[in-house]
Structures are given as structure tokens and as C-alpha cells.
Amino acid sequence: MKFKATPYHSDLLKDNDRLSAFFEAIEEYGGNTELAYDLGCGSGILSYFLSGKFDEIISIEIDKKSFNCAKENLTPFENIEVVNSDVLDYNFTEKADLIVCEMLDTALVDEEEVPVLNHARKFLKPDGKIIPQGVINTVELVSLERHYVHWDEGVNYDVLSDSVVYSEFDFLDEIDPYVEVDLSIKADCDGELNGLKITTFTKLNDSLIVGPLPMLNPPLLIPLEEKQIKVNDLIKVKLKYIMGNGIESIQAQYY
């Protein structure tokens, strides 16, 4: 099936690994199949994946152009209703068996996955499920060329430590969007430290975890004050941000 999409969602559709991962997670879903919500449905591709499993799918998209594409793409499916609305303003009248919400980005800092799910979770049945199921965030010490917050999209940097998990959570739980962690990271080489690299792994279900993909959570690079370090130095850093409030909310400093 050929999908009409905005330029951004057209790029998403070209990331076959991303699509395959979500298709697999939806195919492996084994719960009740009366009602699913697709929150931030974009072009409607995930609703299309859901169409053969659920009696009813309600697909919600705030962007008018994306909504128009999804509406056209999903017209042939009588069990899908496409709604042009902010999820936070939508009048939910039924509880769902499954919520699909792919408002993902690195550390969930820029997109609205956390505030949307904190709101929509109350409209999930007690035995309901969410795809993706959660995320795992890791951090590394790095030496950057660019001294501002940016994504790892073909830029040069050197990694100066092993990867450390600093947060992990399940989307079925209420999530505090305010992140403040004290990190102790051991350097594994000498070098000039001036940044952190955050990598987010997406847990789609109990058996499927996806690492960074071209259109799914490329690592985020965050500058620090420059500092010469040696192998085995223990570097202590405080990292703060608000999930859903944008990269402008990120703060990182030594302590």
C-alpha cells in the first residue's frame, strides 16, 4: 500500500528498521482486541498495522497536513476513525485495550511522549498495554567538535568512557517528567572531556528492544565545560532536563 505523507513522515516511512520493529511489536501483541488508540498517528502507518487485529482504532493527529494524509490513507478501513485533535484536548469516551504512541525522541526530551501518556493512560483498561513499552537511557563521556546541544547525525566526536544506564522506565507507570540525576562515570582513556552522549533504547515489548535508528532516537550530544581527564578518573556530572519541554531544558555540569 502506497502512503501519502508529509516530507517528515515520508522520511519516517523510509526507515525500514523502524517500521519493521513496530510491525513486529504489533503482530506480537496478545491482549484483547476491541479498541486501540494510535496517538500522534502521523501518516497512519501504525494504524494500518493495527487494522487487521482490532475491531476499532481511533487515530489522533494534531497536525492538519498529517491528519489529511492519514485520513486519505486510512479511508478504506471502516474500523479506523481519524481525528484532528491534540491528544490532551481529545474527549476520550472509552477505555482501550492498547495504546500505541510513537512520539519518541532521545531521552524523550523534545517530543511529548511522557505528558501525552501521563494523560492518556487513564483511558487504558486495567489489563491494557502500551506500545512501545518503555525506554532505557544511557550516557557516555565524549569529546565534541560542536559546543552546543545537537543530535548525532554524522558529526565527529570521541567517546571517552563506557556506557552507563542512568534511567529506565515503563510507560504503564506514571512518569515524573522532571529528570535530575547525579552521574559518576569512569574515564577509560586520556583526553579532553567536553560533553555527554545520551543514547535511548526503545523497549517495544518484553522481547524486543531497538537501538538508535536514522529516524528513531539518534543519540543526543550535550556540551560540558572543557576538562582534561586521564584513564580511570571518576567524573561526576549532574544532568537535568524536563521530558517534553525541548532540548532548551537540558542542563549539564560537573559537581
Q: Are 139 and 226 in a shared domain?
A: yes
C-alpha cell belonging to residue 174: 506514571
Taking 90 as the threshold, does the pLDDT of residue 214 lie above it? no
Phi, psi of 121, deg, nearest 5: -60, -30
2 is a domain residue: no
What value, to the nearest 5°, has the Cα angle with vertex 112 and ends 106 and 114? 85
Entry pTM? 0.94
Q: Which residues of 109-132 are buried (b: 16+ CB within 10 A; e: fewer)?
A: bbbbbbbbbbbbbebbeeebbbbb
Mean predicted lDDT score pLDDT of the chain: 96
Q: Could you give the CA distance from residue 97 to residue 165 in angstroms, rounded to a whole number?
A: 31
Taking 80 as the threshold, does the pLDDT of residue 183 lie above it? yes
Query: Residue 84: which pLDDT band, with cuts at 50, 70 and 90?
Result: very high
Q: Are 160 and 213 in a shared domain?
A: yes
- Residue ranges making up the domain that contains 15: 7-102
State pLDDT tens for residues 126-175.
999 999 999 999 999 999 999 999 999 888 999 999 999 999 999 999 99
90 is a domain residue: yes
The number of domains in the chain is 2
188 is a domain residue: yes
CATH number assigned to the domain comprising residue 236: 2.70.160.11
* Identity of the residue numbered 83: V
State pLDDT tens for residues 198-211.
999 999 999 999 98
Across the chain, the runs of DSSP E, i.e. the strands, are 35-39, 56-61, 80-84, 96-101, 124-131, 134-144, 150-151, 157-159, 164-170, 178-186, 191-205, 208-210, 220-229, 234-242, 251-254
